[in-house]
Chain A
Amino acid sequence: MKPAPFDFVSPDSLEEALAVLAETGEDARILAGGQTLTPMLNMRLVEPAVLIDISRLQTLDYVRRENGHIELGAAATQAALEAWPDLPACAPLLAQALPHVGHFQTRNRGTVCGSLAFADPSAELPLCLALLEGEVVLQSSARRRVVKAADFQLGMLSTARESDEMIIAARFPVAEAGTGYAFTEMALRHGDFALAAMAVMARKGSLRIAVGGVADRPVARDYPADLGGDALDDALNDLAWDLAAADDHHATARYRRELVRRLGRKTVEEALACRA
């Protein structure tokens, strides 16, 4: 339960970090908060040759509102976002979801971009990014590109990031006026990985529902705004089956489908109540 040996690089700038990444590629890992990477190192699930510590790069440590987005740099912690004074107004969904991300002791170091990079199917932040149709900014020494949430997370722990790229920022669209947002999850203990997590955005003209923890990635779907009663139950039932849930040692597929149906209904009702 101790990491295998690695070189430890502390770049003084983003450019230096990207240069090391370009040179080392798949054998390098970016260390930001380390709240997922370090457990994997400790358990030797990953044995990179080089760790590139970006946690002290001030230029990447920011949360700001810009062009209709809340943009976070790669070194911005989950705690920093949680403490951002504009959060409840600008991103009520994130304000609801963040307390479920690990524990406050891990949010003190864990970063938002790090969670997106890891791409755990049951993680809250990728689910929020999927529901809100946010984007990530990927940069290498050679290029910069912006990737939409739906194109970024490709599957279980798998993303569109190339080995010479790092996520330098994440962008969540600012909450729209007259739209209701809600987040709910079921976990065995507060802070554990979700057995199922639901996020809902209720616009005047449409309803968007996203599910985490069931399929191999967060799945978001759009529905008509007037979906209610039996039609809502039917839609959630179809969604639950489409996710192809699997049994694991935390819960059965059948239980997860039931969570999608029940949590789904509850979360939709909450989002509609917020919109009113």
Chain B
Amino acid sequence: MPRLKAGELSRISFELNGRTVSGYAEPRMLLADFLRHEVGATGTHVGCEHGVCGACTLRLDGAAIRSCLTFAVQTNGRHVETVECLAAEDGTLSRLQAAFRRHHALQCGFCTPGILMSLEDFLGRHPSPGEQEVREMLSGHLCRCTGYSGIVRAVMEVVAESESGDA
């Protein structure tokens, strides 16, 4: 049975946005910190560190999760997707990102990576949510700039586009 000693570094390796990354971490290192400080992937933000603000949300094996409530050692061999995977290589924004820009769904942008990654999972499961469902989903994210109205508008526009087949 594998036992990692407190304070000892162990090698962590997983797939990040389609590429294998690796580094070393103590057992207590949070996935969010591993990404930012060991891998250098700073798109994932760290806010409250107790699962409330949602800024650190990313996808682990497809499911939206809090990377501040997951230890790096738990992600060995798994698939992690962060906000860095959304735009194309040439910088073309995803439909959701473009809608966020159009609708002023962000100002400072601190909460945005987490919200986008939650939506990637949420809209995959609920392709045609109502506004109330979107607002309930957003209760898992704190945004202090926008009052959420722009975010809701952006999401509903993308949903409407998908429904009308413009996707």
Q: Which residues of A are in contact with B by a Cβ distance under 8 Å? A: 1-12, 16, 20, 34-35, 38-39, 41-43, 49, 51, 53, 55, 79, 99, 102-106, 108-109, 189-191
* Residue ID in chain A nearest B50 by CB atoms: A39
Give the contacts of B68-85 with A (CB-CB under 8 A): 68-71, 73-74
For the complex, give the distance between the alpha carbons of A108 and B70 in Å. Answer: 12
Are B54 and A5 interface neighbours, CB within 8 A?
no
Are B140 and A34 interface neighbours, CB within 8 A?
no
Nearest-neighbour CB distance to chain B for A110, whole angstroms, equals 9
Q: Which residues from B are CB-within-8-Å of A16?
A: 1
Q: Which residues from A are CB-within-8-Å of B135?
A: 190
Most buried by A among B54, B63, B69, B122: B69
Q: Which residues from B are CB-within-8-Å of A11?
A: 1
Name the prevailing secondary structure of the A interface residues: loop
Partner of B71, one of A5, A8, A49, A105: A8
Question: What is the interface residue range for chain B against chain A?
Answer: 35 or more
Q: Which residues from B are CB-within-8-Å of A4?
A: 28
**Known contacts A105-B140, A108-B65; is-contact A8 B51 (Cβ 8 Å):** no
Are A109 and B3 interface neighbours, CB within 8 A?
no
Are B69 and A190 interface neighbours, CB within 8 A?
no
Are B27 and A8 interface neighbours, CB within 8 A?
yes
Are A103 and B71 interface neighbours, CB within 8 A?
no
Are B51 and A39 interface neighbours, CB within 8 A?
yes
Are A189 and B6 interface neighbours, CB within 8 A?
no
Are B70 and A7 interface neighbours, CB within 8 A?
no
Q: Which residues from B are CB-within-8-Å of A108?
A: 63-65, 121
For the complex, give the distance between the alpha carbons of A106 and B139 in Å. Answer: 12
Are B49 and A42 interface neighbours, CB within 8 A?
yes
Contact with A along B1-36 (1 / 0, CB 8 A): 111111100000000000000000011101001000
Are A5 and B140 interface neighbours, CB within 8 A?
no
**Known contacts A103-B54, A103-B139; is-contact A5 B26 (Cβ 8 Å):** yes
Contact with A along B30-62 (1 / 0, CB 8 A): 100100000000000000011100100100000
For the complex, give the distance between the alpha carbons of A53 and B54 in Å. Answer: 23
Q: Which residues from A are CB-within-8-Å of B49?
A: 1-2, 39, 42-43
**Known contacts A35-B51, A38-B51; is-contact A9 B3 (Cβ 8 Å):** yes
Partner of A5, one of B28, B30, B63, B136: B28
Q: Which residues from A are CB-within-8-Å of B51?
A: 35, 38-39, 102, 106
For the complex, give the distance between the alpha carbons of A7 and B1 in Å. Answer: 13
Q: List 24 A-B contacts (CB under 8 A).
A: A1-B49, A3-B28, A5-B27, A6-B27, A9-B1, A9-B4, A10-B2, A34-B70, A38-B68, A39-B49, A39-B50, A39-B51, A42-B30, A42-B68, A43-B50, A53-B74, A79-B63, A103-B137, A104-B122, A105-B54, A105-B121, A109-B65, A109-B66, A190-B136
The answer to the question of B118 belonging to the interface, with a C-beta cut-off of 8 Å to chain A, is yes
Give the contacts of B87-129 with A (CB-CB under 8 A): 118, 121-122
Partner of A10, one of B1, B69, B70: B1
Partner of A51, one of B27, B137, B140: B27
**Known contacts A105-B64, A189-B139; is-contact A7 B57 (Cβ 8 Å):** no
For the complex, give the distance between the alpha carbons of A190 and B120 in Å. Answer: 20
Nearest-neighbour CB distance to chain A for B40, whole angstroms, equals 19
* Residue ID in chain B nearest A191 by CB atoms: B139
For the complex, give the distance between the alpha carbons of A11 and B1 in Å. Answer: 5
Nearest-neighbour CB distance to chain B for A5, whole angstroms, equals 4
Most buried by B among A6, A7, A10, A103: A103
Most buried by A among B63, B65, B73: B65
Nearest-neighbour CB distance to chain B for A191, whole angstroms, equals 5
